[in-house]
Structure 1
Amino acid sequence: MCRIFASCALAALLLAVVWADHHHHHDSSHSHEGEMACHVLSPHNADFAFTLYKHLNAKVAAGQNIFYSPLGISTALSMLSVGARGDTHTQLFSSLGYSTLDQARVNEAYEHAFHMLNHSQENQKLEVGNSVAVRTGFNPLPAFLNDIKQFYTGEVFNVDFEKPDEAKNQINQHIATKTHDKIKDLVKDLDPQMAMVLINWVYFRGQWEKPFNGNLTTKRDFHVDENTKVEVDMMKKTGRFDYYRDHAKFVTVVVLPYKGNTSMMIVLPDEGKMKEVEGFISKDHIRSWYNSLYKNNINLSMPKFSISAEASLGETLKEMGIVDAFGEKADFSGISEDVKLKVSKVSHQAVLSVDETGTEAAAATTLEIMPMSLPEVIELNRPFMVFILEHSTRSFVFMGKIVNPTA
C-alpha cells in the first residue's frame, strides 16, 4: 500500500461503504418494493465492511493507506457461497453477516443490486460485475454456473491454466478491460493445477456536482503524523455543503455530492483522535451523522491525490471466521461433485483518484480455487494394454495391446 495520506484512510473507506445505508432524497424515486429487494443486504454488508476495515487496519504499518471495495469483496464471497455446502457455507454466511438469510434470498438481492448499480446515469459511470475463469476440461455443475450468470451478472470463459503465464495475462487483461485499465496486474502467478478463478470488479467515475476551480489549487503541507509532513496539491472551494460537527465523537463530517445519485462522505477526526474514532465507528454512526447533516457555509481545502492499495485477504478472512474454505474440510460440492476443491488465494486491489473535476475509483477481487489434492496425471503416450470385461460371467470379452494408435 502506498505511503501517503494516512488520515484519508477513513474517508476512503466511507466512499466505498456509505451507499449501504444511504437514504438520501436522491433515492426517493425508487419504489418501496424496489428498495427492499437489494436493501436486504445493506446492513449486513456495511457491518462486514467495518469489521474488515478493523482487521486490515490492525495489519498496516503507520503511514499506510487503506482503500478497498467492501461491495466487491462481499460480492466475490457471496458468489463463492453459491457453490459452498455444509460448514463451509455456514462460515461464509456467518462472516458475511447473512446468517438470518438463505442463499436464494441473497442471490435475488444481488441480482436486484446489480440491476440498480449498473443502471446508466448521465455524468456518472458505475459498473459492477463478475466473471468465472474456468480451467479447460474442468466442468463445474451447470446449476452453479447458471446461478452465477443469472444472479451475479457472471461471464464464464475458459482458461488454459497449464500455461500459467498465458492464463495470468488473459485474466489480468480481462480485469483491466473491465476496470478501464485501472487494475492491471492483480494476478501475480497461477498454479498450473488451478481449477477456476472467481473475479469481481467495481469501477466508478463521478463528476463533482460543483467542481473545484483548478486555478485555486496550491501546494500545501499534509501532516501524515506528528513528525511527518508531505507536500500536496490542495484544492479549494467555498460554498454551502452538507455538514455536521459531532463534538462528543470528535469528528467533522462533510458530504460532497457527485452529479447523479452518489456522494463522498468525509469524516475528519480531530487532531490525534483517528485511533479513537476507528475504535468505535460503525454503520450506525454513519447513519446518525448522515441524518444530522445540515447546510453550512464551508471554506473547504482538500488534497488532490491518487492512491493504490493491494492486499492478500486469505489470512484476514480466516481471522473473520472463514476457515474451512481454505483447507481440507472445504465443501464446494455445489461447484463440482467430482473434484474436491478449496480456495487457495484471495487477492484484492483498489485505486482512488480525486481531482478538481471528480473522482475515479476501481477495485478487483480474485478468488483462486484449486483441486484439494493434485490429480494423478496419466497420459497414454506409449504402448498400453486394453481389456473389455463382462462382469456377470467374469469373461474377458476383448483384450489387446495398443502399440500404434494410427496403424
Structure 2
Amino acid sequence: MAALCCDLLAPGSCVCLGIPGGSVGIPTRPGQVPRKMNPLLGLGLLLAGLLTVEGLLKPNFSPEKHEAVSQGQVGKGKGTAQELAKRNTDFGLKLFKKLSFSSPDNNILFSPWSISMAFSMLSLGAQDSTLAEIKDGFNFRNIPDKDLHEGFHYLIHRLNQRNQDQRLGLGNALFIDQKVKPQQKFLTEVKNMYKADTIPTNFQNSENAQKQINNYVRQKTQGKINNLVKNIDPGTVMLLINYIFFRARWQHEFDPKETKEEDFILDKNKSVKVPMMFRVGVYNVGRDDQLSCTVLEIPYQNNFTAIFVLPDEGRMKQVEEALGLETFARWKKLLVRRVADVFVPRLTVTGNYDLKKTLSHLGISKIFEEHGDLTRISPHQNLKVGEAVHKATLKMDEKGTEGAAGSGVQTLPMETPIRVKINRRFLLMIWETKMNNLLFFGKIVNPSGR
C-alpha cells in the first residue's frame, strides 16, 4: 500500500500498489521473440489530513527550527506556486462537485492541497500518457515538469511553519520494499523537491509494516492520526505518504461560557442538538443576493482564515452549482467589516474517500491500470496504483489554553450587530491567505458527525 498523508485536522489518503502473480508479455514487432515483463507490482498512496482548530497549542509545545527558503528557491518556485494555488482551488471545486453529487446529504471534508501534492510527487515516476493524464486531471497542464515540482517545493517550504500560536506541517515519505529497485533519480527528486523520507520496509511481514507506518504517521502528527493503515494489500511493494497537519488559534477566541446547546436544522422536519459557540465582534461579512447565501470570514492568527458560506434554506444546490473561481472572487468583493453576532457550531467531522473511484470520474484512470506507465520509478518493473484513499478529520472548537497569552480585547464600533447564525448545512473553506491556497474544503450537513 502506498500512502500519501495530508494533515488537515484529518487522517489521510492512501494509494496502494499490489503484486498479482504471473507475468505480462510485452507486444513485439513481427519476427521478434516476446519478452516477459516482471509481475505487476503494487504501489500505494496514503493521504492523511489533520486539521485542528482549538484555540492555543499546549504550553509544552516545542517549536522546531523552520528551514528558511533561500532566495534562489523563492525565485524559482514563487511564480509557479501562485499559479498552482489557483489551479489547486479549481481542482478542489471539481472534486467537491463530484463528491457532493454522489452523496448530497452527507458531510464532505477533504484537502485538495494534500491530494494534489501527493499525485504531483507520484508524477515524478510517470511518463507518456499516464503523466499527461495526471497533469490534465489535476490542472497541471502546460506547466513544465521542472516548474511544477519547483512550485510545490516552494509551497512546502512556505507552508511548513511553527510558532506558539499555530502549527502547519507538511511532509512526505516513501516506504519501499526490497523487491523494488527504484531509480536513484526518482529517489533524489522526491527528497529534494518534496522533502520525502525514504524508509526501507518489509511488506512481506504485513503486520510489522503496518505498525511501522502507523507509528511514523502518529509521530509526525503529534499523536492525532492513529491507525491510518488498517490493512496492507498482498503484493504491496511501496507506500507513499503525504501528510498535512494544521492546528491554529482563532484571532479572537470564543468564550466557552457562551456556548449553548441549540438546534441545527438537518432538513425541514428534522434537527439535531449541537453546542453552538457565540461571539460578538468585528468580522468580514457579505450577502450574495444572486445566490441567496451569506458569507462569513473568521480569521486565525497569522496567514490563515476560515470562510463559511451559509445558503438560505433550500438553496445549497444552487450555491454548489455556481461554485467557481469567479464566484470566489465575487464573494471576496462582497465582504464588508461589520459588527456581528456570530453563532458557529462546535464540531468534529471526518471524510473518507476512495480516490480511485472518484478520480476516474475526473479522467484520471491510467495510473490505476496495468497499462499505466510508472517506469520512471523503476524501469524494469510494472507498477500500478492499486488503491488511493483519502481521510480527513476536522475538529473546531472555542478553547484556548489556560495561562497562555490572550488575544486582547476588541474595540467594537457603535453599530447594531448583524446576526450570522450557522444553524443549517453550510460550506467551509480553510485558506492560506498569502498564496491564496485552498487547504481544506468541506460541506457540513450534520456537525455532530452522525
TM surpasses 0.5: yes
Cα displacement (A) at 1:190: 1.2
TM-score (norm 2): 0.71
Tell me the distance in 2 between the aligned counterparts of 1:42 and 1:287: 14
The residue number in structure 2 matching 1:307 is 349
Tell me the distance in 2 between the aligned counterparts of 1:176 and 1:287: 38
Letter in 1 for 2:81: C
The residue number in structure 1 matching 2:358 is 316
Where does the alignment leave 5 or more consecutive residues of structure 1 unmatched? 1-14, 17-30, 364-407
Tell me the distance in 2 between the aligned counterparts of 1:208 and 1:82: 37
Letter in 2 for 1:40: E
Where does the alignment leave 5 or more consecutive residues of structure 2 unmatched? 1-50, 53-70, 401-427, 431-438, 441-450
- Of 205, 222, 228, which aligns to 2:247? 205
1:322 is paired with a residue whose SS is: coil
Cα displacement (A) at 1:314: 0.5
The residue number in structure 2 matching 1:44 is 87
The residue number in structure 2 matching 1:77 is 119
- Aligned: 1:265 with 2:307: yes
Tell me the distance in 2 between the aligned counterparts of 1:255 and 1:36: 27
* CA shift digits 1:363-383 (9 cap, x unpaired): 9xxxxxxxxxxxxxxxxxxxx
TM-score (norm 1): 0.78
* CA shift digits 1:84-143 (9 cap, x unpaired): 011100000000111111211110001100110003344111011111111134221011
- Of 175, 187, 191, which aligns to 1:133? 175
Greater fraction of residues in helix = 1
- Aligned: 1:91 with 2:138: no
Tell me the distance in 2 between the aligned counterparts of 1:197 and 1:124: 29
* CA shift digits 1:299-320 (9 cap, x unpaired): 0111011111211111111111
Cα displacement (A) at 1:249: 1.4
Is the 2:210–2:231 Cα contact (8 Å) retained in structure 1? yes
* CA shift digits 1:265-290 (9 cap, x unpaired): 11111111011111111122122212
Letter in 2 for 1:123: D
Cα displacement (A) at 1:352: 0.6
Alignment of 1:388-407 (within 5 A): none
Cα displacement (A) at 1:191: 2.4
Is the 2:78–2:151 Cα contact (8 Å) retained in structure 1? no
Tell me the distance in 1 between the aligned counterparts of 2:78 and 2:377: 31
Letter in 2 for 1:43: K
Alignment of 1:161-176 (within 5 A): 161-176=203-218
Is the 1:212–1:357 Cα contact (8 Å) retained in structure 2? yes
Is the 1:186–1:347 Cα contact (8 Å) retained in structure 2? no
- Aligned: 1:143 with 2:204: no
Q: CA RMSD in A?
A: 2.2
Tell me the distance in 2 between the aligned counterparts of 1:90 and 1:111: 21
2:318 is paired with a residue whose SS is: helix
Letter in 1 for 2:304: T
1:189 is paired with a residue whose SS is: coil
Greater RCO, 1 or 2 (C-alpha within 8 Å, sep 6+): 2
Cα displacement (A) at 1:71: 0.5
Cα displacement (A) at 1:176: 2.0
Tell me the distance in 1 between the aligned counterparts of 2:385 and 2:354: 13
Cα displacement (A) at 1:252: 0.7
When Rg is computed on C-alpha atoms for both structures, the one with the higher figure is 1
The residue number in structure 1 matching 2:266 is 224
